[in-house]
Amino acid sequence: KAGVTQTPRYLIKTRGQQVTLSCSPISGHRSVSWYQQTPGQGLQFLFEYFSETQRNKGNFPGRFSGRQFSNSRSEMNVSTLELGDSALYLCASSKGQGAWETQYFGPGTRLLVL
Amino acid sequence: QKEVEQNSGPLSVPEGAIASLNCTYSDRGSQSFFWYRQYSGKSPELIMFIYSNGDKEDGRFTAQLNKASQYVSLLIRDSQPSDSATYLCAVNINNAGNMLTFGGGTRLMVKP
């Protein structure tokens, strides 16, 4: 079974631009969560989608947004990029939603903001 | 106080030894606990999950959970150089859907 896929894998943007990242979950998985990983802050939760609805949101500004499509694929968007948005953005999928669900991570998208 | 805490390390053990990684969490209502391994430049890979007090074994890995003391640990027996990585403890705090709160990770170095 194919794992979680993320595109693109690497991205370079300049301040003020916007970016859209894509995530395709494992087949049959309906929940997609997004995380940001930086050397300073570690892995931080951005948001979670299940059945096309945002179920949880982390403590990030409104410049970070996302959506999920009917086939469970998800996208996240960051508008008005700042230097501090440079990070590894990870998508994780799970079958359902709940405390006992195991999440499997994709390879990540490494974003560099210049 | 951080919600999930880990010693950043590095924890250095000789090949063949037992590596013990620890994690403490602040929310007593947390129900599920996960250990991920992350190699440099790669994404986290799930190693184990544990929900009940006690030990859970899977091959060379044993996860231990003590809810009363609010800690979870991971033991790696017969450590191999290929186990050298950062180990991330993740907790589903407040049973918040699929939202995981991660510790900062412990870097493990297994020396041949």
Q: What number of residues does chain B have?
A: 112
| Residue B1: band (very low, low, confident or very high) from pLDDT cuts 50, 70, 90 | low
Q: Scanning the structure block, which residue is given the tokens 């063949």?
A: B16
C-alpha A16/C-alpha B17 separation (Å) is 50
C-alpha B88/C-alpha A55 separation (Å) is 24
What pLDDT sits at residue A92? 97
Nearest to A45 among B51, B100, B105 (CB): B100
Is B8 an 8 Å CB contact of chain A?
no
What pLDDT sits at residue A34? 98
Q: Which residue has the higher pLDDT, B96 or A84?
A: A84
The helix (run of H) or strand (run of E) holding residue A57 is: strand A53-57
- CB contacts < 8 A, A to B, total 68
Q: What is the mean pLDDT of residues B61-89?
A: 97
| Residue B64: band (very low, low, confident or very high) from pLDDT cuts 50, 70, 90 | very high
What pLDDT sits at residue A38? 96
What pLDDT sits at residue A98? 78
What pLDDT sits at residue A5? 98
Percent of chain A with pLDDT over 90: 90
| Residue B96: band (very low, low, confident or very high) from pLDDT cuts 50, 70, 90 | low
Query: What are the beta bridge partners of residue A53?
Result: A50
